[in-house]
């Protein structure tokens, strides 16, 4: 069983976007649940995970979770808000593994590597990580209106902005970071692999080439 990732490291220099590195997947400090409420939430997530494995995350509904858990539909909505909240909660474990790797893990993805090396490693890691769990990520990103506002997306954006600045990249850093994140979008990766027949190695190599063109003079 993996331990929870340690707190996010403090930035080494001021940066207006570094505050994004304080975001957790669910966004900042959350109220502590009572023990019974926490157990109920865990049980609902276990039921949801089982249903997602059986019928696919794209077919998972709040009603199905409530029925399988033998609780009222309102209970599921109170715990997770809506289907997007449920999918985000199911992703939490996988997303925290990735966050721990690029925030505090070993090089070249973690802090003890030069920023350009970390940029190269970041894209390859995200591509492989999300594709390995693509059904869940695709279902969680189905709500286009919130795809770019989730705390996990904001964390990645802040991380890329920080690395681009530390690498001495010229230009509009935030727009460049947003462009890089577009390359990593799981909907695009899924299309390129499943419909265009591209390999994950090719996509990772293309990411490295893009980083070279943006960063390395």
- What is the 3 state secondary structure string of 167-180? CCCCCCHHHHHHHH
Share of residues in the chain with pLDDT > 90 (%):
45
209 and 156 both lie in a single domain: yes
Tokens of 148: 């770019």
pLDDT interval class at 32 (50, 70, 90): low
- pLDDT score at 189: 97
Out of 81, 115, 150, a domain closes at 81
- Domain of residue 149, residue span: 86-217
Asked if residue 105 and residue 73 are part of one domain, the reply reads: no
Helix, strand, coil percentages in the chain from 3-state DSSP, rounded to 5: 70, 0, 30
Q: How confident is the model at residue 13 (pLDDT cuts 50, 70, 90)?
A: very low
- Residue 87, Cβ neighbours under 10 Å: how many? 23
CA nearest neighbour of 91 among 123, 132, 121, 122: 132
163 belongs to a structural domain? yes
66 and 126 housed in the same domain: no
Measure the N-to-C terminal CA separation of the chain; round to a whole number of Å: 43
When divided into structural domains, the chain yields a total of: 2
Per-residue pLDDT tens for 139-163? 878 777 777 888 889 999 999 999 9
**Same domain, residue pair 72 and 164:** no
Q: What is the Cα Rg of the chain in Å?
A: 18
Residue 95 has pLDDT above 50, yes or no: yes
pLDDT tens-digit map of 46-90: 888 888 878 877 788 889 889 898 888 888 898 888 887 888 788
Q: Does residue 139 sit in the same domain as residue 196?
A: yes
Tell me: do 62 and 91 sit in the same domain: no
Among 20-34, 48-62, 122-136, 166-180, the minimum mean pLDDT is found in 20-34
113 in the same domain as 58 = no
Mean pLDDT of the chain: 82
Quick one: 110 and 195 in the same domain?
yes
3-state secondary structure of 109: coil
Task: Check whether residue 100 and residue 61 sit in a common domain.
Answer: no
Co-location of 153 and 103 in the same domain: yes
Indicate the range of 91-95, 116-120, 152-156, 176-180 predicted with least confidence. 91-95
């Amino acid at each position: 069983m993996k331990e929870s990732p340690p707190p996010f490291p403090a930035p080494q220099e001021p940066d207006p976007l570094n505050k994004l590195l304080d975001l957790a997947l669910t966004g900042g400090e959350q109220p502590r649940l009572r023990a019974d409420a926490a157990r109920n939430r865990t049980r609902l997530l276990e039921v949801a995970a089982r249903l997602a494995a059986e019928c696919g995350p794209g077919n998972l509904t709040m009603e199905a979770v409530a029925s399988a858990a033998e609780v009222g539909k309102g209970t599921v909505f109170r715990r997770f808000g809506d289907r997007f909240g449920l999918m985000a909660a199911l992703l939490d474990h996988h997303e925290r593994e990735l966050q721990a790797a690029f925030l505090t893990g070993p090089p070249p993805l973690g802090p003890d590597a030069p920023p350009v090396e970390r940029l190269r490693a970041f894209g390859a890691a995200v591509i492989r990580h999300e594709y390995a769990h693509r059904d869940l990520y695709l279902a969680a990103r189905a709500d286009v209106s919130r795809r770019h506002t989730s705390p996990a997306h904001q964390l990645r954006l802040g991380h890329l902005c920080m690395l681009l600045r530390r690498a001495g990249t010229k230009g509009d850093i935030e727009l460049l970071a947003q462009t890089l994140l577009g390359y990593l979008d799981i909907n695009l990766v899924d299309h390129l692999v499943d419909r265009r027949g591209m390999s994950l190695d090719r996509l990772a190599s293309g990411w490295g080439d893009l980083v070279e063109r943006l960063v390395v003079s």
